[in-house]
Structure 1
Amino acid sequence: MNVIWSETMHPGGKWSGVIGKGRLVRLTALDKGANVSMLMYHARDLTERYNMPDTLKAQHTAHLTKGNVLMSDNGRVLASIVQDDLGWHDPLGGYTTRASTDEKYGPSSYQEQRNEWLRSGQENLAVELVRSGLGNRDMSPVVNWFSKVFCDEEGNMHFAENHCLAGQVVTFRTEMDVLVIFSNTPHPLDPGGQYPSVPVKIEVLPALPVDSQDHCVNYRPENRRAFDNTWNYYALQS
């Protein structure tokens, strides 16, 4: 399929925009060790957004991969993961803050370093929220694409190093009109002492129509119910 739109997010970069339903959003790590934090909202009603607890408990999982869907707090499907080279993406670890970034990588500010300053996930996401008429109170759990976090028997969270290799891809399909916000900033649990320098390509492509045999629709019975809710919503909008 032909690419409709493409952009490369440089290290520390951010991007936000509305993507209509029925699109494929393909993310490609252009070097090893990528992490992209993502927020997602229903573009027609920004009070509806990605719900991490419902997404995980409905699909009986603590990580995301092909077949999983991102559910909204209205029980609908915002997006579905249709391609995944990595097999594990983190929905639990959150995003970096100014304080945590300074503590790990050293003090950094735009006033002193201009465009070379080390951005945090929280700052990037907050800026893009404001662009869409939202604010800090609309900050919610993120999906960390390309990162793997697992828990041991005591419940301690561990970051899997060397999980993401150069050239690996994850693709999700939009099932609703969505506002997507990306931040190409380090995972907060990444133990590396150097601020990662990994550009990530974003591409948007057309998606084939979804039918009853679709892998994501049938991944779990809960997915089917969420898809039914989504299809009913759009049936009433047309």
Structure 2
Amino acid sequence: MDQVYDIAAEKPWSGIVRKGQTIRVEDTYGQQAIDTIFYRADDFGERYSSQDTLRAQGAAYITTGTRLMSSEGRAMLTVTADTSGRHDTSAGCCSCESNTVRFGHDTLYQHACRENFIMELSRHGMTKRDIVANINFFMNVPISPNGAMTVDDGISAPGDHVEMVAEMDVLCVISNCPQINNPCNGFDPTPIRVVIKG
């Protein structure tokens, strides 16, 4: 029986995905960045590695066929379906500090993905030291030939989804991005859905 989780706008979530199960992350309303980190379920010291993932596939974005690699060089999950086309794993997550630098001191009070991650990781005995470079599902981050990146309008439509089959037992930690100062969420954060199948 599928496990279905509806995650409110701006909120964090976490759950275990067992080896062989499929996790589906759905952008319910479209144009919503979904910041995600994976950890090995029985050893949080092994966690998602954006660098190893990009190196293993030789491409800048995550899409169907991508193997999400761990800090130990092992496949954690494999992307088996993707209706959006590409997902960022280079731009990292927003924080109160980066909001202040990018958008002005008056944004310091605004909630951010780093704070979501800190709150959710604390439920599993982890701290801010355990935050690593994350995946930004559905976030549109064009990379120019000179390596410059920018956050642009989202390209995902309502109902777009990405599915991954777990190659090991993993803990999935999500921040449903609360950013309102750049177009990664269409300036209007919305709810998402996560489904664990199998």
TM-score (norm 1): 0.75
Q: 1:174 is matched by which residue type in structure 2?
A: A
User: For 1:108 and 1:86, how far apart are their aligned partners in 2?
Assistant: 32
2:121 aligns with 129
2:175 aligns with 183
| Deviation, structure 1 residue 159 | 2.5
Matches within 5 A, 1:120-159: 120-159=112-151
Query: Cα–Cα, structure 1 residues 55 and 167, in superposed 2: closer, same or farther, change >3 Å?
Result: same
User: For 1:140 and 1:11, how far apart are their aligned partners in 2?
Assistant: 22
1:205 aligns with 197
Calculate percent identity across the aligned residue pairs. Answer: 29
Q: Which 5+ residue runs of structure 2 have no aligned equivalent?
A: none
| Counterpart selection for 1:69 from 54, 67, 70 | 67
SS in 2 for 1:55: helix
Segment of structure 1 superposing worse, 154-163 or 174-183: 154-163
User: For 1:193 and 1:31, how far apart are their aligned partners in 2?
Assistant: 10
1:214 aligns with none
Q: Which 5+ residue runs of structure 1 have no aligned equivalent?
A: 110-117, 207-238
2:161 aligns with 169
Q: 1:12 is matched by which residue type in structure 2?
A: E
Matches within 5 A, 1:1-80: 3-80=1-78
Query: Cα–Cα, structure 1 residues 194 and 55, in superposed 2: closer, same or farther, change >3 Å?
Result: closer
Query: Cα–Cα, structure 1 residues 101 and 194, in superposed 2: closer, same or farther, change >3 Å?
Result: farther
| Counterpart selection for 1:82 from 57, 80, 83 | 80
1:211 aligns with none
User: For 1:185 and 1:94, how far apart are their aligned partners in 2?
Assistant: 11
**RMSD of aligned residue pairs (Cα, Å):** 2.3
Structure showing the higher strand proportion among its residues: 2
TM-score (norm 2): 0.90
User: For 1:190 and 1:17, how far apart are their aligned partners in 2?
Assistant: 28
Q: 1:87 is matched by which residue type in structure 2?
A: G
Query: Cα–Cα, structure 1 residues 81 and 188, in superposed 2: closer, same or farther, change >3 Å?
Result: farther
Structure showing the higher helix proportion among its residues: 1
User: For 1:202 and 1:33, how far apart are their aligned partners in 2?
Assistant: 16
| Deviation, structure 1 residue 131 | 1.0
Per-residue deviation, residues 52-97 of structure 1 (Å, max 9, x unmatched): 1111011101100000011112221111101100110000111110
Question: How many pairs were matched up?
Answer: 196
* Structure of larger gyration radius: 1
Query: Cα–Cα, structure 1 residues 87 and 119, in superposed 2: closer, same or farther, change >3 Å?
Result: same
8 Å Cα contact 2:37/2:173 also seen in 1: yes
User: For 1:192 and 1:60, how far apart are their aligned partners in 2?
Assistant: 25
